[in-house]
Amino acid sequence: MSAVPKLDTIGEREVDDALKEAHIPSLMAALVHLTGDASLLTDENKPVYDFFGDGQGNIKPEVQEQVRAVVKHAWLDYARGKKLPPPPPHQTIRRMMDFVAGAQIPERYVPFLKEELGIAVEDTRVPRWDSPKLKDAAAKMKVVIVGAGLSGLLSGVRLSQAGVPFEIIEKNPDVGGTWFENAYPGCRVDNPNHMYSFSFEPNHHWPQHFSTQPVLLAYFRRMADKYELRKHIRFETQVTEAVWDEQTSRWHVHVRDKDGKKETLIANAVISAVGQLNQPRIPEFKGREKFKGHAFHTARWRHDVDLTGKRVAVIGTGATAFQVIPEIAPKVAHLDVYQRSAPWLGPTPDYHKDVGEGKKWLLEHIPYYDKWYRFWLFWTLTDGILDGVAVDPSWNDTSKSVSPANDMLRGMLIQAIEAQAPHRPDLIQKVIPDYPFGSKRSVRDNGVYIAALARPNVDLITTGIREITENGIVTEDGMEHPAEVIIYGTGFHASDFLRTYRIVGRDGVELHEKWKGDARAYLGMNIPGFPNFFCIYGPNTNIVVNGSIIFFSEASVRYIVNALKLLAETGAKSMEVRADIHDDFNRRVDEENKKMAWGLPDAKSWYKNQFGRVSQNWPWRLVDYWNATVAPNPDDFTLT
Ligand code: NAP
C-alpha cells in the first residue's frame, strides 16, 4: 500500500505540481479507491488512445482538470487520516479496467489482469506451503537453480517463501545475468520499467521510463540483498553437467569453481534459469582472425579500448547495435555501420527521458495509482496489440505487411522515419525495413538513431560483408573499408538452448543429442525423459511485440514451485511430462506461430532455429500462458 506522507512535509502546491504529471486514466481509477465514487468513469470521458498520442487517451482538458482537483481534495482528506472506502466490488473493478484500457476487456482476462494489477489483499503468487505435511516435505527437498539472473533470483525468492532449500549456481561474480553481462554503452531496457519489474517488487523511483543497464543491475542486486539470496549463491561457479539418477530419483549436478575445483551437488529438482541471450554469436566471416585491431562482441564490451578518434565498424543493426551506435558516433573519428536488414523503429518520445519527480510522488503516495499505471502499460503494450502482427489469411502479399492493420501501421512508421531526415532520402531509403512489422523485434525510437546515422562521420553500409582483412572489412563490391576497431552486434546463440552444460536424463539420453538443434519443451519448461527438470525462458517462451520477459518468468516460477508442491503433496519422487502432451503442445505452437508475422516462411530472425522453425516465441496471448501455468495439471505428467 502507498505510503501516507506527513502533511507538514508536503503542501497543496506540491500536490498540484505532482498531479500535473499524472496519467489521467490511471488517476481516475485511483480516485475510485480514494472515494468509492466511480461516477467520472463515463463513456463520454473514456480514453481513446491513438498511436502517436500522449497516452492520456484524448480526455478533454477540462475533465483532466476536474479529475486533478477531485483527487487532490480526496487525497488531502486521506492524508489527514480519512479511511479509504471498502475495495470496489468486482463489477466496478471490471468497469475500471475497461475504462483505463480504453477497450472492452474480454471476461477471460479478468482474473489474470486482477492478479497483474495486484490489488487483491493477498498476493496469489506467493507460495503457501502451510500444512505440517507440506512444511516437512519442503524441508526435505533440495533444488539446484542454474543462474542468478532475474529468473534464478525469482526462483530463489519463491523457494524461500515455500521453505524449500535451494542453491543457486552462477558463473559470473555477481547476480543480474544478462543485465550483468551486457554493459555496452547505451544499454537500457526497451520495456517501460514500471512494467519491466517484478509485480511484487515495484520501484516507484525508476529514474527513467526505460532505465539504463546500471540501474537495472542495481534493482536486481537490491533484490538479492533484500531476500537474502546471496548466501544461497555460489558465484564464479559453472554447472558442467546434470545427470539424473534413476535409483535415487535425484539429479547429480556437477559444478566447477573458478579455481577448477569440482563438486557434485545432489538435488531433487533442477531449475535451469540460464537465459537465451547471453552466449555471444560472431559470424564466421572469412579472414576474421587476421584483423589486427581490437575486435569484440557487444556483450563482451572492451571498456579498456578507447574509441575516441578511432575508425570503428559496427556489424549489425539489431536491438543492441541500435543502442550502441548513437552513443559512440559522436566520439569516434569515423563509424561504418554494416546493416543486413533494417530494424523497425517504434516512436517512443520518452525513451531517454527522466521520470518527473511529480510522477514518482504519485506512484508512491496516491493509493493504487501505481497499480493502475502498471495495468495500463501492461494492457496497451501486451495482448492489446497482438492482433496487429497476426497474418490475415485473406491478405494477398505478405512481403511487406500481413494484414490491413499491419499495413496501416507500416505506413505510420514509415512516415515517422521519413520525418526524421527529410534532407537525406538516400539514408531514409536504406532504413525503411523491407519486411512486415512484427517479423523481427522492433526497437524504441526517439530520433537519436537516425540522427547518428545522418552524421557526417557515419556511413551506413548495406552491401554484404565478403571478408575481414588485417586492416578492415571488404564488402561484396570489393571495397575495403578500413577499421581500427570492429564491434560485433551480431546477437546470440539463442536457439541453442542450455548450450553451456550437458544434461543427461532417463536412460542416459543427453538433452542436446535428443534435441539435435531443434529445442522443444512443454510450456517452455518440461521435457519428456527429464524428470524434475524445469527450464525458465526455455523454448517458445519469448515474445516479439507483446510484453516483458518478467511476466513469463513470474508465470513459469509459479508453475515450477507448484510442480514441486505436487511432488510434496503426492509423495511422488519424480514427475515427467508425458510425451504425447509435449508433442501435441509443440504441434499447436508450430501451427500458431505460422499465423504470425514472425512465422512467415520468409521471415528471418533469431526467433528461428537452423531448421527454420520458430523455437523462441510464444504464439498466443499472455493470458493463455498465465492460464496454462497457474498450476501444473497432474494429468500432463507421469508421477513416480
Ligand atoms: P540480433 O537481434 O540477433 O541482431 C544481430 C544483428 O547482427 C542483426 O542486425 C543481424 O542482421 C546482424 N547480423 C547477424 N549476422 C550477420 C552477418 N553474418 N552479416 C551481417 N550482419 C549480421 O541481436 P541483438 O541486437 O543483440 O539483440 C538480440 C535480442 O536481445 C533482441 O532482439 C532483444 O530481444 C534483446 N535485447 C534487448 C534489449 C533491450 O531490452 N533494450 C537490448 C538489446 C537486446 P539481420 O537482422 O539481417 O539478421
Residue listed under C-alpha cell 476487456: 105
Query: Residue 3: its pLDDT value, please?
Result: 56
What is the whole-number distance in angstroms between the Cα of residue 489 and the centre of ligand 1?
6
Helix/strand/coil for 474: strand
Q: Does domain 132-279+494-639 bear CATH number 3.30.1360.30?
A: no
User: For ligand 1, is residue 314 a contact (CB within 6 Å)?
Assistant: no
What average pLDDT is seen over the chain? 95
Nearest-CA residue for atom 12 of ligand 1: 316
Rg of the Cα trace of the chain?
26
Query: Residue 11: its pLDDT value, please?
Result: 77
| DSSP run (H or E) holding 252 | strand 250-257
Query: Domain boundaries in the chain?
Result: 7-124+356-383, 132-279+494-639, 288-351+399-488
- Which burial class, exposed, middle or buried, applies to 595 when counting CB atoms under 10 A from its CB (0-12, 13-18, 19+)? middle
Mean pLDDT along residues 283-292: 98
Check for a shared fold between 132-279+494-639 and 288-351+399-488: yes
Query: Residue 121: its pLDDT value, please?
Result: 65
User: For ligand 1, is residue 319 a contact (CB within 6 Å)?
Assistant: yes
Residues 6 or more apart whose CB falls under 8 angstroms from that of 48 comprise: 57, 58, 102
Ligand 1 atom at minimum distance from 490 CA: 7
Query: Residue 385: its pLDDT value, please?
Result: 79
What digits encode the pLDDT tens for the residues 377-421?
988 888 777 889 999 999 999 999 999 999 999 999 999 999 999
Nearest-CA residue for atom 14 of ligand 1: 490
User: For ligand 1, is residue 324 a contact (CB within 6 Å)?
Assistant: no
Q: Are 609 and 517 in contact (CB under 8 A)?
A: yes
Ligand 1 site-directed mutation target among 150, 277, 430, most atoms within 8 Å of CB: 277
Q: Can you give the pTM of this predicted structure?
A: 0.95
Tell me how far CA of residue 558 lies from CA of 229, 297, 626, in angstroms: 18, 35, 10
Checking if the pLDDT of 557 tops 80, the result is: yes
Quick one: fold of 288-351+399-488? FAD/NAD(P)-binding domain (3.50.50)
- Residue 220: φ, ψ to 5°: -70, -30
User: For ligand 1, is residue 540 a contact (CB within 6 Å)?
Assistant: no
| CA pair distance 254, 573, nearest whole angstrom | 21
Nearest-CA residue for atom 26 of ligand 1: 491
- What's CA 551's distance to the chain center, in Å? 7
Query: Residue 554: its pLDDT value, please?
Result: 96
Nearest-CA residue for atom 24 of ligand 1: 491
Query: Residue 6: its pLDDT value, please?
Result: 55
Query: Residue 5: its pLDDT value, please?
Result: 57
What is the whole-number distance in angstroms between the Cα of residue 282 and the centre of ligand 1?
11
**Helix H segments across 80-195?**
90-101, 110-117, 132-140, 150-162, 178-181
Q: Are 631 and 555 in contact (CB under 8 A)?
A: no
